[in-house]
């Protein structure tokens, strides 16, 4: 599948521009430095819908070797992780409508590209993502394993926070593409904000239809990347425990 750029109507471009300009007002001082650097480096400086091949991939590939590839929408876990193990980030090509500006449940092109792509200019983050995809592929037939990996993915890649020298910042694409949650995630007294912990994340279910109640904070992208071995070990351990419980349960 390819992104057919000529398909975008003037109204699509106008919706994108509204989303882009509103987020670019909010993100300085709230988005991770890696994101703010990545926005420019990955070719977003103007307000048009990004052309995956002519704008994003031309800049992204030389930096971390990653590419954005067009997919029709949510794809199966196997295909999803196979793409990411091959340094290809799946992005939808459809855009939310004007009456969905504030929040949509399924990731659209604004979520996938504006939200996720800029941090793909950070090598440690990319290495973490590729490791996570490889771990997922080695357990891709095990639904419980995939559910635990999806949780860790959710609380990092989608809704992760990072403690930087200037203060608490956002790197999760699900927050960065949502005007409401961008402010809520850093400033609301409601959600809990806890240190990144592999065992906790693998075992913490998540909600998809409202702002998060818990956020997890990393100290650096190196910390994410260096946690890959612990993710693999803890996942294996939890799967053994669960199979033993199952065995006991059914004996
Ligand atoms: N497909 N296109 C797309 N984008 C996603 O973010 C995505 C997906 N399929 C599966 C999925 N995410 C989640 O289940 C992963 O966290 C496993
Ligand atoms: Fe996403």
DSSP letters, 182-249, are HHHHHH-SSSEEEE--HHHHHT----SSS--SEEEEES-HHHHHHTHHHHHHHHHHHHHHHHHHHHHH
Query: What residue owns the CA closest to ligand 1's atom 4?
Result: 74
Closest ligand, as measured to the CA of 115: 2
Q: Are 47 and 25 in contact (CB under 8 A)?
A: no
The answer to whether the beta carbons of residues 183 and 212 sit under 8 Å apart is no
Ligand nearest to the CA of 174: 2
**How far is Cα of residue 209 from the mean position of the Cα atoms in its chain?**
16
Mean pLDDT, the chain, integer: 95
**Cβ pair 45, 129 in contact under 8 A:** no
Which of 38-42, 115-119, 127-131 shows the lowest per-residue confidence on average (mean pLDDT)?
38-42
Nearest CA to ligand 1 atom 7: 74
> Residues with beta carbon < 5 A to ion ligand 2?
107, 173
Model confidence, pTM: 0.95
| Average pLDDT rounded to a whole number, residues 226-244 | 95
Ligand 1, atom 8: closest residue by C-alpha: 74
pLDDT higher than threshold 80 for residue 103: no
CA torsion through residues 193, 194, 196, 198, sign: negative
CA-CA-CA-CA dihedral for 109, 111, 115, 116, to nearest 10: -70
Q: Which residues line the pocket of ligand 1, CB cutoff 6 A? A: 71, 74-75, 77, 80, 90, 92, 107, 150, 153
5-250 CATH pick, 3.40.50.300, 3.30.565.10, 3.30.230.10, 1.10.800.10: 1.10.800.10
pLDDT category, 14, cuts 50, 70, 90?
Answer: very high
Q: Confidence band (pLDDT; 50, 70, 90) for 250?
A: low
Give the number of the ligand closest to the Cα of residue 158: 2
């Amino acid at each position: 599948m390819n992104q057919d750029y000529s398909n975008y109507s003037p109204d699509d471009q106008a919706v994108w521009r509204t989303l882009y300009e509103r987020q670019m007002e909010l993100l300085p001082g709230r988005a991770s430095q890696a994101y703010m650097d990545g926005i420019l480096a990955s070719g977003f400086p103007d307000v048009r819908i990004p052309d995956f091949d002519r704008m994003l991939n031309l800049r992204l590939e030389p930096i971390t070797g990653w590419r954005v590839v067009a997919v029709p929408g949510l794809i199966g876990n196997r295909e999803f992780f196979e793409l990411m193990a091959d340094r290809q980030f799946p992005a939808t090509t459809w855009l939310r409508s004007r009456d969905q500006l504030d929040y949509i449940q399924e990731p659209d092109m604004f979520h996938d590209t504006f939200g996720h792509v800029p941090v793909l200019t950070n090598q440690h983050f990319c290495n973490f993502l590729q490791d996570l995809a490889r771990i997922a592929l080695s357990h891709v037939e095990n639904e419980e394993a995939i559910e635990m990996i999806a949780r860790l993915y959710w609380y990092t890649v989608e809704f992760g926070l990072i403690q930087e020298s200037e203060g608490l910042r956002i790197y999760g694409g699900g927050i960065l593409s949502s005007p409401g949650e961008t402010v809520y995630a850093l400033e609301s007294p409601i959600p809990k904000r806890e240190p990144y912990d592999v065992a906790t994340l693998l075992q913490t279910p998540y909600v998809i239809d409202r702002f998060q109640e818990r956020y997890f904070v990393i100290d650096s992208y190196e910390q994410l990347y260096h946690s890959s071995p612990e993710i693999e070990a803890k996942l294996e351990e939890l799967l053994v425990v669960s199979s033993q419980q199952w065995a006991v349960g059914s004996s």
